[in-house]
């Protein structure tokens, strides 16, 4: 490194091509032995994160000459620093980022010094893109959190602090930026430090460092600034070079299986990245969840067989025995503590514009396994300012909550604080495939290991044979007044007359008993359908033809209900009647009440109805009579519903 910070003015013309050499000379044999630190920059919008990283890369001589040339051109075209280089443009690569002057996506950069290698994630500060910040933090080991010296500790500062702590980071560097704009006021710096320390007490960081700096001018980045004679701490780069990287010791092997490699009949290997521990040929291993055991025969890589492999390496294991292993299983040391469970306490950072609703069915991706998931209870939401635990029936975008989580099958796991690989997960919308939330597992609930499926001798097949019918669920959906209950009642009468064993679950009737505690909020509607779907599933298991007549306004809940049944056992019947006709009928006077304001959250008016996209049957409620519709449905059921 040079003794002084480098000039940051724009090179002129051809001078760009002859700029001083910025690539470090290669470090000989010791280079590969330098450790790697992954860190993020985070904080509120416009605190100077991109500028800080860009200036750090410039001063550290980590920019190739073609990048410098491009930066010079871009600074003239898009820059905000007049005749000087705009370092933020090194990180803000999207056109929208340059137009708006903010970071939207996560930008990763690699650089190195003689002491250490680094991967830095420059993350957005805008609240709208907090989910991208969480993505960057999920793989980091340290956070550099910027605070604008003029603004102090903001709500977004606190939100980012809670997210990085939630994701397991224990060391945070508070970079109080733009000190030049407040005249390098030592008292203002001290006030910011005191305020942040008071806030961070409950977060339990193991180390917090504070640095006054100007990212734009390079003060206290690589070299101590003469403008802060009152600051006697390290520079930012010095802190990054000496920050302790937690090294796992004596960890048991943990290899989540990503792919079963079977190129021919003579080779069967299990591919994945080692999440913890080491492995050698001859080691005895165990497969979770099956519990089968074997020994390692070979460790295969692109560079040939290895005699040892360790955490972070991608390998293929060949075992001595032919045992059943699939994607999503975990290969562990024989005495590893990795267990399986299906119910957990978890922490969630909610990323979606659609609120989290307990009981709604989601898909979870945990290591290399995909499973169905439901939030069974929101225990509390965390106030980002005070850390207070607040009661909540739903969770909105950018909020953090502690919940009880249920998967539809046991999964190999470890608490997130022990293993990011086995304790971290995301929730995905089943229909849109959008990522909704990042989450981490705290611990398995005792009920997960104490409740087991009880084997019974009389099963569904026996009950169907006794009744001489094929059990199934006929799910009627449509607006209030569409005619679905009338049609469902006629269908049951005809099936009963044909000697079939049936039961009708009607929305109004169920709310008098099983669901009398539920209202009509979105969260209560979700729980209403969840309970009814479970009851319908039990009735189908009992060998009955069960008819369910519910508005069931949300596609996701109907999809969740369908997922509880075997293929072909769930018939969705959409009674498609226009709103105007339903309102004209208004058999219960509900539309009139809703129009007058006496009835809130009424489906079709101030609460949405999402029509089925591909139902098994669609009934035109405006053209067909209830009798005609019922006869058509019965023909369909009797045609395909007899017991072979």
* Annotation says 552 is catalytic: yes
Each domain of the chain, given as residue ranges in start order, spans 13-242, 254-333, 340-446, 460-640
Would you place residue 448 in the very low, low, confident or very high pLDDT band (cuts 50, 70, 90)?
low
pLDDT(181) > 80: yes
The whole-angstrom separation of Cα 367 and Cα 463 is: 40
Q: Which CATH architecture has domain 254-333?
A: Beta Barrel (2.40)
Q: Return the CATH class of domain 13-242.
A: alpha beta
Superfamily of chain region 340-446: Translation factors (2.40.30.10)
The whole-angstrom separation of Cα 425 and Cα 346 is: 10
Residue 292, helix vs strand vs coil: coil
DSSP-assigned letters across all residues of 85-129: --GGGGT--SHHHHHHTS--S-EEEEEE-SS-EEEEEE---SGGG
pLDDT(616) > 50: yes
The strand pairing partners of 119, in sequence order, are 38, 110
Same fold across 254-333 and 460-640: no
- In this predicted structure, what is the pLDDT of residue 66? 57
Among 50-59, 499-508, 616-625, which is the least confidently predicted range? 50-59
Would you place residue 6 in the very low, low, confident or very high pLDDT band (cuts 50, 70, 90)?
very low
pLDDT(428) > 60: yes
The whole-angstrom separation of Cα 376 and Cα 404 is: 6
The whole-angstrom separation of Cα 494 and Cα 391 is: 48
Q: Which residues of 118-143 are buried (b: 16+ CB within 10 A; e: fewer)?
A: bbbbbbbbbeebbbbbbbbbbebbbb
Of 552, 556, 596, 613, catalytic: 552
Question: Which one, of 191, 205, 111, lies nearest residue 160 by Cα?
Answer: 205
- In this predicted structure, what is the pLDDT of residue 29? 39
pLDDT(112) > 80: yes
Q: Could you give the percent of the chain with pLDDT greater than 70?
A: 84
- In this predicted structure, what is the pLDDT of residue 525? 84
pTM: 0.71
Q: State which fold the 460-640 domain adopts.
A: Rossmann fold (3.40.50)
Would you place residue 33 in the very low, low, confident or very high pLDDT band (cuts 50, 70, 90)?
low
pLDDT(102) > 70: no
pLDDT(17) > 60: no
């Amino acid at each position: 490194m040079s003794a002084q910070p480098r000039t940051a003015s724009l090179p002129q013309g051809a001078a760009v091509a002859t700029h001083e050499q910025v690539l470090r000379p290669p470090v000989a044999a010791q280079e590969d032995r330098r450790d790697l630190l992954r860190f993020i920059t985070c904080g509120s919008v416009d605190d100077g994160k991109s500028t800080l990283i860009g200036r750090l890369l410039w001063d550290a001589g980590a920019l190739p000459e073609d990048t410098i040339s491009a930066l010079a051109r871009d600074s003239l075209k898009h820059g905000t620093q007049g005749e000087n280089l705009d370092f933020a443009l090194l990180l803000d690569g999207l056109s929208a980022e340059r137009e708006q002057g903010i970071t939207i996506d996560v930008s990763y950069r690699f650089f190195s010094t003689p002491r250490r290698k680094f991967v830095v994630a420059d993350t957005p500060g805008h609240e709208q893109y907090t989910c991208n910040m969480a993505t960057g933090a999920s793989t980091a080991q340290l956070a550099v959190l910027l605070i604008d010296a003029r603004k102090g500790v903001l709500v977004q500062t606190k939100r980012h602090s809670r997210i990085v702590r939630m994701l397991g980071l224990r060391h945070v560097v508070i970079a109080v930026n733009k000190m030049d704009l407040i005249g390098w006021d030592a008292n203002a710096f001290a006030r910011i430090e005191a305020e942040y320390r008071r806030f961070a007490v409950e977060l339990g960081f193991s180390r917090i460092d504070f640095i006054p700096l100007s990212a734009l001018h390079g003060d206290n980045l690589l070299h101590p600034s003469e403008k802060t004679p009152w600051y006697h701490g390290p520079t930012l780069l010095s802190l990054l070079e000496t920050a302790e990287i937690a090294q796992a010791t004596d960890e048991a092997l943990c290899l989540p299986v990503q792919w079963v490699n079977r190129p021919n009949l003579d080779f069967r290997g299990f591919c994945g990245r080692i999440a913890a521990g080491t492995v050698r040929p001859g080691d005895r291993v165990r497969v979770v969840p099956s519990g089968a055991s074997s020994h390692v025969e070979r460790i295969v890589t692109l560079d040939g067989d290895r005699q040892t492999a360790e955490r972070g390496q991608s390998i293929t294991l060949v075992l001595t025995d032919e045992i059943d292993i699939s994607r999503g299983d975990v290969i562990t040391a024989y005495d590893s503590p990795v267990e399986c469970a299906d119910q957990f306490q978890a922490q969630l950072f909610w990323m979606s514009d659609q609120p989290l609703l307990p009981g709604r069915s989601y898909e979870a991706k945990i290591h290399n396994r995909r499973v169905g998931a439901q939030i069974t209870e929101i225990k509390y939401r965390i106030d980002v300012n005070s850390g207070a635990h607040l009661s909540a029936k739903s969770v909105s975008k950018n909020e953090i909550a502690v919940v009880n989580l249920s998967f539809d099958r046991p999964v190999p796991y470890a608490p997130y604080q022990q293993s990011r690989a086995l304790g971290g997960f995301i929730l995905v919308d089943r229909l849109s495939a959008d990522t909704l939330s990042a989450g981490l597992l705290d611990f398995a609930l005792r009920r997960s290991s104490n409740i087991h499926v009880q084997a019974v001798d009389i099963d569904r097949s026996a009950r169907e044979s006794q009744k001489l019918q094929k059990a199934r669920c006929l799910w009627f959906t449509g607006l209030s007044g569409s005619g679905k209950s009338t049609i469902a009642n006629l269908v049951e009468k005809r099936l009963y007359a044909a000697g079939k064993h049936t039961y009708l679950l009607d929305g109004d009737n169920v709310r008098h008993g099983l669901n009398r505690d539920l209202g009509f909020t979105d969260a209560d509607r979700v729980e209403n359908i969840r309970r009814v779907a479970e009851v319908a599933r039990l009735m189908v298991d009992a060998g009955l033809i069960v008819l369910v007549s519910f508005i069931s306004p949300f596609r996701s809940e109907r999809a969740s209900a369908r997922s509880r049944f075997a293929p072909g056992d769930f018939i969705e019947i959409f009674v498609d009647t226009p709103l105007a006709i339903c309102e004209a009928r208004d058999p219960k006077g509900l539309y009139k009440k809703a129009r007058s304001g006496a009835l809130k959250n009424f489906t079709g008016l101030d609460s949405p109805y999402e029509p089925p996209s591909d139902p098994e049957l669609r009934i035109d409620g405006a053209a067909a009579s209830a009798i005609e519709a019922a006869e058509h449905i019965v023909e369909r059921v009797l045609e395909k519903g007899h017991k072979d």
